[in-house]
Chains A and B, each alone.
Chain A
Amino acid sequence: MNPTKIFLGAFLVNNILLMRFIALCSFFGVSTSINTSVGMSAAVIFVTLLAAWVSWVLYHALLAPLGLVFLRTAVFILVIAGLVQFVELFLKRYVRALYSAMGIYLPLITTNCAILAVTFLNIDYGYNLLQSTIYALGVAAGYALAIILFAAIRERLEDSPISQSFRGYPIAFVGASLISLAFLGFASLFGITL
């Protein structure tokens, strides 16, 4: 499939957060301020790429040839957990600046549905390594776009007069619903289906 279509499909049309409902827990938890959202997005992009590569290689080199496809759930999640731990140690030692920017979000990412979803979908859609990379980038960029936009709105919501029952999560959900409605406008962009 056309790389641009893969990217746009993941980034806009089938936005992982707003259209596919994946990674919502972190979405509502982290998006209270733009700074934390940017930090979280950076961590997600970083780990998604690495996880996509490692899991793709492990699947095609180890699990599939040995007929152990059923182990992919366990293997992928273990890989992600180990990867996150390794990345945290690596950044803390060698790239201190990046660690202080996004280090605290790394443990949160282990249970981030989006990364596991990317590893599974790469297999299910039958992508090769290059296509998997583009897809992973598209999903992570889509996550970043959605969460940063949403954080900007939530920051303004904090100062607005909202009735008691709607304060906090309810108005955030309604806000997310409106952004999701806007993203629906991307449906059928360049012929990419929902």
Chain B
Amino acid sequence: MDWSIVLKSALALGGCGIGIAILLLIASIKLAVKVDEREAAVRAALPGANCGACGFPGCDGYAAAVASGKAPPNACTVGGPAVAGEVGRIMGLESTAAEAPVAVLICRGGLAEAPRRFHYEGTYNCRQAALLLGGPKGCVYGCVGMGHCVGVCPVRAITMGADGLPDIDEAKCIGCGVCVRDCPKQVIRLLRRPKLVYLACASHDRGKAVKSVCQVGCIACGVCVKNCPAGALTLVDNLPVMDEAKCIDCGICVHKCPTGSFVDRAKGRPQAIIHKNCTGCTLCATKACRFKAIEGEPKQQHRVIAEKCIGCGECIKVCPVDAISMVGALGHAERLT
């Protein structure tokens, strides 16, 4: 029995083992990364959905950013006020919760309004179909309608409608933005929840080019721009761009648009009513109302035609005797008076 081989192999293998062990020991000390306990505490307080709504790469990324002071404690929209409060408490900061936006579809061209120009026989997925000549729909800017967003929504807030357009449940939507990111046509966007009116078309074509492929697409006629009382709309690249700071959600653009390309999220609209102190100056009927919803003889009590009134509130602004007020839905009264 050659003991020298046993000795040599024991030394060699043992030496390698000890060498590696020492190397790793030194490395674990010298290359140690300091772990911030606050980062760990913040990470534990987060919901862990890793949705990215905060704008950081996952909950780990956000926790690291908060701990290093680069992020506010209330950026987690999924966690809401509870998480914002907890994170603020850990970091010793005040915080109020940020309100989660809601995802909306900026396309109204379903199977009926925007017919397909060819029959697509391929993988039934928007991202795949969009690769083939821009998709089977006549309008290449619009929603492909094969439900990719339905599949990626982490809270199952999206379902496919019978009209070929996805239906986003606003109550379930947490505003994480995954559908926005994944849509191949980029026709989903995040809207601040208080905002009620938005443009639901993404087509950069105009006039006949749009009309030939979609009944409800924006033809860039500019009527909305002309009629906006707040001057919030400008036509850029054949689409009206809304300045959300100026927009008062009056809804005039929704009703003036010849193709119905705007969407009003409000569940109901208020109505104007004219009180008994009306002097009959006809300012409201002639100068303010764009929808011919006020009738009345000069010097006589005017009245609002309920079916035509859209609740925009322009008449209230011009009445010299404050004879008009809004009645009805959903907080519009506060905005418009």
Contact flag (A, B; Cβ within 8 A): yes
Chain A: residues with CB nearer than 8 A to chain B? 58, 62-63, 66-68, 70-71, 74-75, 78-79, 82, 85-86, 89-90, 92-94, 100, 156, 159-161
CB pair B9 A79 closer than 8 Å: no
Query: Which single residue of chain B is at the shortest CB-CB distance from A159?
Result: B125
Known: A79-B20, A82-B20, A86-B23. A71 touches B31 (CB 8 A): no
CB pair A68 B128 closer than 8 Å: no
B 13-31 binary contact with A (CB < 8 Å = 1; else 0): 1001100100110011001
When distances are taken between beta carbons in the complex, the residues of chain A under 8 Å from B17 are 78
CB pair A159 B16 closer than 8 Å: no
**A-B contact list, 30 entries, CB within 8 Å:** A62-B12, A63-B12, A66-B12, A67-B5, A67-B8, A68-B12, A70-B9, A71-B9, A71-B13, A74-B13, A75-B12, A75-B13, A75-B16, A78-B20, A79-B16, A79-B20, A82-B24, A86-B27, A89-B24, A89-B31, A90-B27, A90-B31, A92-B33, A93-B31, A93-B32, A100-B57, A156-B123, A159-B123, A160-B123, A161-B124
CB pair B33 A93 closer than 8 Å: yes
Q: Which positions 17-66 of chain B face chain A at CB distance < 8 Å? A: 17, 20, 23-24, 27-28, 31-33, 57
When distances are taken between beta carbons in the complex, the residues of chain B under 8 Å from A92 are 31, 33
From A62, A68, A79, A161, name the one whose CB has the most chain B CB atoms within 10 angstroms.
Answer: A68
Chain B: residues with CB nearer than 8 A to chain A? 5, 8-9, 12-13, 16-17, 20, 23-24, 27-28, 31-33, 57, 123-125, 128
- Nearest-neighbour CB distance to chain A for B17, whole angstroms, equals 7
When distances are taken between beta carbons in the complex, the residues of chain A under 8 Å from B124 are 159, 161
The 6 closest A-B pairs by CB, nearest first: A82-B20, A159-B125, A93-B31, A89-B31, A89-B27, A159-B123
